[in-house]
Amino acid sequence: MAQPKKAASIWDVARLAGVSHQTVSRVVNGSPRVAAATRDKVLEAIAELGYRPNRLARSLAGGAAESVTVLTADTSLYGPEAALRGIEKAARALDWSVQISVLDPADTHSDADIIARLPRAGEPTIIMAHDEPGMRAKQVLLDQQPHAMVAIGPYTAEELAASPWLVGMDDGKAAAEATRYLLDLGHTTVHHLAIPTSTGTFGGGKAHRAEGWARVLREAGRPVPEPVPSGWTIAEAFKAVQPLVADPEVTAILCGNDHLALATLRAAHLAGRSVPGDLSIVGFDNTPFSAYTTPALTTVNQDFESVGRGAFELLRHRVDGSIPRPVPGWPEPELIVRETSGPPSSS
Amino acid sequence: MAQPKKAASIWDVARLAGVSHQTVSRVVNGSPRVAAATRDKVLEAIAELGYRPNRLARSLAGGAAESVTVLTADTSLYGPEAALRGIEKAARALDWSVQISVLDPADTHSDADIIARLPRAGEPTIIMAHDEPGMRAKQVLLDQQPHAMVAIGPYTAEELAASPWLVGMDDGKAAAEATRYLLDLGHTTVHHLAIPTSTGTFGGGKAHRAEGWARVLREAGRPVPEPVPSGWTIAEAFKAVQPLVADPEVTAILCGNDHLALATLRAAHLAGRSVPGDLSIVGFDNTPFSAYTTPALTTVNQDFESVGRGAFELLRHRVDGSIPRPVPGWPEPELIVRETSGPPSSS
DNA sequence: ATCAGATAGGTGAACGTTCACACCGGGCGG
DNA sequence: CCGCCCGGTGTGAACGTTCACCTATCTGAT
């Protein structure tokens, strides 16, 4: 058995059951207008032939979507990975299929390249990329099929209001909260090890975390040190943070994510600075490992999985107007104080 | 612009260019038998209408695959995540699309459920799941479409030879190497904090890492302690490892992966045992963070991304016999000695 | 002049579904 | 007793491609 014989189609089932193909279709799709006896016959034939519907043909004929393409940055980052998980779960629950396509900055991405990624025109798409190709992809889709796309990203309340296709969390506010917490602990100021922004180099583009951090410092009348730019990898962060940990004036560092915080933790250790005694470190994202480092990372929890789910719901709403617009129901980012933060030693 | 107007089809292009739909098809697919003048006309029409081929229709008609479905366990694990990345990269390079479907043990998975995940019968599929639903899925596919599936998993040389649809690394050998290394360091024996096996509970199913570890101990005539079973999460590992770190007799622990090793590291720290002074810890997988813990983890590097790429190549070979069978070309697992391992303090 | 062979292009069916509609018989209100 | 509606089913077209095959036209050799 299991010869590569052709798969059974709806017609084969119809013939075997002695009904029309349409009746089979009705049975498969659970239409109520089928007599019980007929249904049983069809079901039997389906079982015997091992028939299963061809999704391709289904989509082609029905025009029904039932499928979502996720355009994402490198999935080795925790945020995109968790959001993808949320999307996949939500999609699976509704029996949608999920396509994934990674936007690699190394590829040359003309607009045509991006478009070619979509299985078909109007394919519902979620974009999850904060780098340059991601931004271009967003723009392209916004022009071409604004009703069938949703982007995940950091937002401020104003941005969300202005962009009905945007989903995300106000991580600027969370960064502000973390900064205020460190200030309240007695630190004179807080330094910032920053993740790359959408334009690649620090300074341009959106950098909500950095903005929230700077705002609090300004409001408190504290010096605002130049943020230290880091790449996404731990190795890059480790290198970038060296001057910070070497400087005894630096008593608190807010890191753009937990990987950067881990690198900072190790750099501090190697530089002979005790944490949190000499140096407080706060991370971002509450990556699973963060509770188990030694000392355990103080960090900001973000429920990316819920955001992913929210993005999926919003997409459904936008594709099919009859589905109610979801209310963003995920928890706000929240500071989790663990062991890497404390008052400065001088105080 | 950008009204949700229907996307242009090959027929629309044909009409505008004043040729037949087939000629358009030829131009799109780069057939040589089209006059230059005709080609230009068609190209122009394509540009004007913003036409792009519908992949669905293409696959339906052509039977051509150009698409792979990845059935995976939880992507929050490093191994599957990295392998998925490898698959996606390889697929993208060839312009194949990638579908992802997560096998959640929490769902009830009848065989039918698993089959329903495939977009269509015979859809080329890669399975990447070491747990129970994954094993069932593997069996189902093996029965239904053995020529269009590949599984990723741990293997021994014999298993690989016996299963032309299997791709993986001999992590039993790597576990053996790590165990031997610890023994050579002077440890009397090595304990094992084990990841779950394919059957859920420890003991059944394939557990190559555990087997390699036990074999070396037996060969060296050392006592083989009962392996300690852990779940996949760090929290579970932290709980499971408590008795091990509390026991001063235990001087070396081989952990099933780096997350478990991290939990062990923290548990040891809290129990007041110094690493590697009192206790040596060796992880598995060389997860990115492992080089930056304090102390940095000794671990076994595994190039999952290459394995993913290899799986994709093998799948192509199996689906289309004309493609040569790839030779497994990835690096062998390799022990990376960092800071969590050393001779026992008593020696 | 004639014809084989190449070159350029067209025609119709097929892929596996769903959709819109037509059909048939029986129960029920008038 | 008639007509209507409705449950149950069938028919044909459509979705957007590719594939297999057919038809012109032009070339150059016989």
Tens of pLDDT, residues B328-339: 777 888 999 999
On the question of a common fold for A11-52 and A171-303, the answer reads no
Inform me whether the pLDDT recorded for B155 exceeds 70: yes
Would you give the end-to-end CA distance of chain B in angstroms?
78
Residue B106 token pair:
């929490």
More confidently predicted of A224 and A327: A224
Which position has the higher pLDDT, B43 or B114?
A: B43
- The band of A50, judged by pLDDT with boundaries at 50, 70 and 90, is confident
Structure tokens at A173: 């506010």
CATH superfamily, domain A171-303, is: Response regulator (3.40.50.2300)
Instruction: Tell me the per-residue pLDDT of A288-347, one tens digit each, with 9 for 90 and over.
Output: 999 999 999 999 999 999 999 999 999 988 887 777 787 777 788 899 999 999 999 864
CB contact burial B152-170 (16+ within 10 A = b; e otherwise): bbbbbeeeeeeeebbbbbb
For residue B250, pLDDT beyond 80 = yes
Least confident among A174-188, A192-206, B128-142, B312-326: A192-206
Just give the CATH number of A11-52. Answer: 1.10.260.40
Shortest distance, CA B223 to any CA of chain A (angstroms): 30
In CATH, which of 3.40.50.2300, 1.20.120.340, 3.40.50.300, 2.40.30.10 is domain A67-169+304-331?
3.40.50.2300
Chain Cα centroid distance, residue A105: 17
pLDDT tens digit sequence for B21-39: 999 999 988 888 888 888 8
Stretch B49-75: mean pLDDT: 81
Whether a cis peptide bond, with omega within 30° of 0, leads into A343 is: no
- Read off the pLDDT band of A278 (50, 70, 90): very high
Lowest mean pLDDT among A103-112, B77-86, B231-240, B314-323: A103-112
Question: Do residues B312 and B299 lie in contact, with contact meaning Cβ atoms separated by under 8 Å?
Answer: no
The model's confidence at residue A279, banded by pLDDT at 50, 70 and 90, is very high
Q: What is the pTM of this model?
A: 0.87
Instruction: Please give the nucleotide, over all strands, whose C1' is closest to the CA of residue A60.
Output: D15
Residue A229 near residue A240 (C-beta atoms within 8 A)? yes
Structure tokens of B50?
């913003």
A123-137, A231-245, A253-267, A316-330: least confident range: A316-330
Instruction: List CB contacts of B175: < 8 A, sequence separation 6 or more.
Output: B208, B209, B210, B211, B212, B213, B254, B284, B300
**Nucleotide whose C1' lies closest to the alpha carbon of residue A62:** C18
Contact residues for B148 (Cβ-Cβ < 8 A; gap 6+): B122, B123, B124, B125, B141, B315, B318, B319
Please, which residues have CB within 8 angstroms of residue A50's CB and are 6 or more apart in sequence? A8, B144
Query: Over 80: is that where the pLDDT of A205 sits?
Result: no
State whether B144 and A269 contact (CB < 8 Å).
Answer: no
What distance in Å separates the CA atoms of residue A167 and residue A311, rounded to the nearest whole number?
6
User: B50: distance to nearest CA of chain A, Å?
Assistant: 10
**What confidence tier does A277 reach under pLDDT thresholds 50, 70, 90?**
very high
Please tell me the least confidently modeled range out of A229-243, A328-342, B312-326. Answer: B312-326
R_g of chain B computed on alpha carbons: 26
Residues of B in Cβ contact (< 8 Å) with A59 = 56
Asked if B4 and A262 come within 8 Å (Cβ–Cβ), the reply is: no
The rounded mean pLDDT for chain B is 86
More confident residue, A130 or A343: A343
The predicted structure's pLDDT at residue B97: 86
Q: Cβ distance B198 to B182 under 8 Å? A: no
Q: Nearest CB to B76: which of A50, A81, A143?
A: A81
Q: Mean pLDDT, to the nearest integer, of A166-176?
A: 87
What is the SS3 assignment for A66? coil
Q: What is the DSSP string of A284-308?
A: SB--GGGGGSSSPPBEEE--HHHHH
Q: At residue B226, does pLDDT exceed 70?
A: yes
What is the separation, in whole angstroms, between the first and last Cα of chain A? 78
Number of residues written out for chain A: 347
Highest mean pLDDT among A39-48, A237-246, B159-168, B209-218: A237-246
Tell me the β-bridge partners of A298: A282
Spatial distance between the Cα atoms of A308 and A83, rounded to a whole number of angstroms: 4
By mean pLDDT, which of A127-136, A192-201, A311-320, B277-286 is the weakest? A192-201
Domain spans, chain A: 11-52, 67-169+304-331, 171-303
pLDDT at residue B305, as a whole number: 93
Of A190-204, A243-257, B222-236, the one with minimum mean pLDDT is: A190-204
Residue scoring higher pLDDT (B59 or A181): A181
Name which of A17-31, A82-96, A200-214 the model is least confident about. A200-214
Asked if strand D comes closer than 7 Å to B188 Cβ, the answer is no
Q: Looking at residues A36-49, what average pLDDT do you find? A: 89
Question: And the tokens for B225?
Answer: 């302690």
| Contact at CB, B1 and A143, closer than 8 angstroms | yes
Strands (E), B36-182: 67-72, 97-102, 125-128, 149-152, 166-167
Whether residue B323 has pLDDT greater than 90: no
Question: How confident is the prediction for chain A on average, in pLDDT?
Answer: 86
Looking at beta carbons, which residues of chain A come within 8 Å of B234?
Answer: 288-289, 291-292
Contacts of A296 in chain B (CB under 8 A): 266
Residue A237 — pLDDT band, cuts 50, 70, 90? very high
Q: What is the H or E stretch that residue A97 is in?
A: strand A97-102
Residue A77 and residue A88: Cα distance in Å, rounded?
Answer: 17
pLDDT of residue A5: 58
Distance CA A238, CA B114 (A): 44
Strand nucleotide closest to residue A9 (CA to C1'): C16
Strand pairing partners for B254? Answer: B192, B282
Name every chain A residue with its beta carbon within 8 A of the beta carbon of B235.
291
Residue A155 confidence (pLDDT): 75
B136, B110 Cβ separation under 8 angstroms: no
Q: Is the CB of B203 under 7 A from strand D?
A: no
pLDDT given for residue B325 in this prediction: 80
User: Which pLDDT belongs to residue A177?
Assistant: 93
Q: Which of A92, A104, A291 sits opposite B102 (nearest CB)?
A: A92
Q: What is the pLDDT of residue B3?
A: 44
Residue A2 has pLDDT above 60, yes or no: no
From the list A113, A79, A137, the residue with the least C-alpha distance to A299 is A79
Distances (CA, A) of B37 to B19, B27, B47, B53: 12, 11, 16, 22
Most confident option among A245-254, B68-77, B160-169:
A245-254
- Residue B346 has what pLDDT? 61
* Cα distance between residue B232 and residue B217, in whole Å: 25
pLDDT, mean of residues A50-55: 83
Q: Are strands B67-72 and B97-102 parallel, antiparallel or unpaired?
A: parallel
The pLDDT value given to residue A204: 43
- Of B60, B58, B95, nearest to A55 (Cα)? B60
